Amino acid sequence: MRSRNIAPLLAVSAVATLVPALAPATASAAENPMKQYLQQKPAWHRCDTSTPARLQCADIKVPLDYSRPGGKQIRVAISRIRTATSAERRGVLLINPGGPGGPGIDMPLLLEADLPKAVKKQYDLIGFDPRGVGQSSPVSCGLNSKEEIWERPYKAATFEKDVSWARTVAKKCHAKAGDKLRHITTRNTARDMDVIRSVLGEKKISYLGYSYGTYLGAVYTQMFPRRADRFVLDSAVDPKRIWRGMIQVWAEGAEPAFTRWTEWTARRHAQYKLGKTPEAVRKTFWDLVARADRKPIELDGTAMTGDDIRGGRAMFFSVSAAAEAIAELKKAAAGKPSGPTGKPRTPERPAPPSFGRAVPPDNGTASFWSVVCGDTRAWPRDPEQYRRDAIQDKSRYPLYGDFSSNIMPCAFWKNGSEPATTVDNKVKALILQNEWDPQTPLTTGLGLHSALKGSRMVTVAGGEGHGIYGSKSCADKTATAYLTTGKLPAKDVTCRATSAARQEARRLPLPAPPGIPGMR
């Protein structure tokens, strides 16, 4: 969010009055309209013939609109791998992989091999597809592949086309799924999590959330502070930046990463031949961008424009991979044979179990925009504001500033069902953050840490990549200790990344939000 500025005051509404009603299990249906949801008995079964029998799945029902629990219902798909040691069992560990729009029903299986035995002894691992995603009543906008592309550099000549695209996406989404879209929000997904808690018979839940999942977890702690047990929030979103600010921070964070890369690469001129000084490396890069703007450079069978090169800003958070990629680009520009670019890519993630139920091809994009646009009312409505911001930010952040501030469908999106959540509480939580994370830079981790006043933060100095826990990081030990003992560190922790952890982080099976640059 992955992976991107205001947090309005939480409105008092009919929905908010339902929050206390989620707790009692003894009230009659008339007194507690949520009873039909809280007392469901999930019918567990093997998820799919292609998955191990130990991964069990079930569907539960939740209200589309929590202010009208007697109204339309939607399906939420959940999964579990139960602990084999019931005597040591503490409870459940819900897992969210990020997004928004990332399916999570297969996460217990994907993380099972990477989580320590001590954690798996104490917790049933619980996965779920958030509402509107995957197997959970998936939304669709009926978008074609071209309409799903949203990395759009600002150009005066094409801005009106970009505005038309943004308006079209919003219009198609509301025409096809308007009855659902305003309720596909983080607050409602947090409420769904609390229904899952009740259905599983738990008084509290523990939680492991990556990327967008850190914001979802933070919202849960704000809405249900007494039901949050041990929360690990990995690669963190700043609640005050949702969501335009979280997209703009990619440009802000790319500039120091690029500077670090030029310094690192200059010290290795003999290997990469990109320049003996940081200034020379920088000039080499921008000369290649200018060259590709005049005539695209053929690389790995793809014609790369200057905008394509700038759009790969995430690679500069991994200095060695970026040096290899730009060295190959330089060879290609000179007409010399080039090898693989070495550009970091999101690992291919096995398709989640299908249950024989089709998922719309644009579901990831549709659910992404539903949350990003519907969570907050802070998106500007005037297209000219986006034009001004894109021009200004391209000057401030040359790599990606115009991409991140250009027009988005949210400019034309109808309001979600509620204003954004103000996260400000003292619930205990552990935040894990790589220093060089391309999707949630260090500054956004610090932002979440500030909002969660009961939290501790582990910063991995020199850490590269998006997603930490389970990657053999130096932060793993602290996270495992917290999950198994409940004890947070006495103060914030900084540890030094190892080369093995840097390589492992790139293979961590985390989905990138649709269209995130440099993470495909």
The residues assigned a catalytic role are 211, 437, 466
- How far is the C-alpha of 356 from the C-alpha of 248, rounded, in Å? 39
Structure tokens at 170: 């919003």
Structure tokens at 496: 């030094």
What burial class does residue 113 get, using C-beta atoms within 10 Å of its C-beta: 0-12 exposed, 13-18 middle, 19+ buried?
exposed
Residues whose CB falls within 8 Å of the CB of residue 329, separated by 6 or more in sequence, listed in order: 288, 297, 299, 304, 309, 338, 341
DSSP letter string over 414-479? PP-SSPPP---EEEEEEEEEEEE-SSS-HHHHHHHHHHEEEEEEEEEEEEESS--TTS--TTHHHH
Residues whose CB falls within 8 Å of the CB of residue 387, separated by 6 or more in sequence, listed in order: 154, 159, 407
Cis peptide, bond prior to residue 100, ω within 30 of zero = yes
How many residues in total does the chain contain? 520
- How far is the C-alpha of 230 from the C-alpha of 119, rounded, in Å? 12
Q: Which of 321, 268, 343, 318 is nearest to 497 (CA)?
A: 318
- How far is the C-alpha of 403 from the C-alpha of 251, rounded, in Å? 8
Cis peptide, bond prior to residue 243, ω within 30 of zero = yes
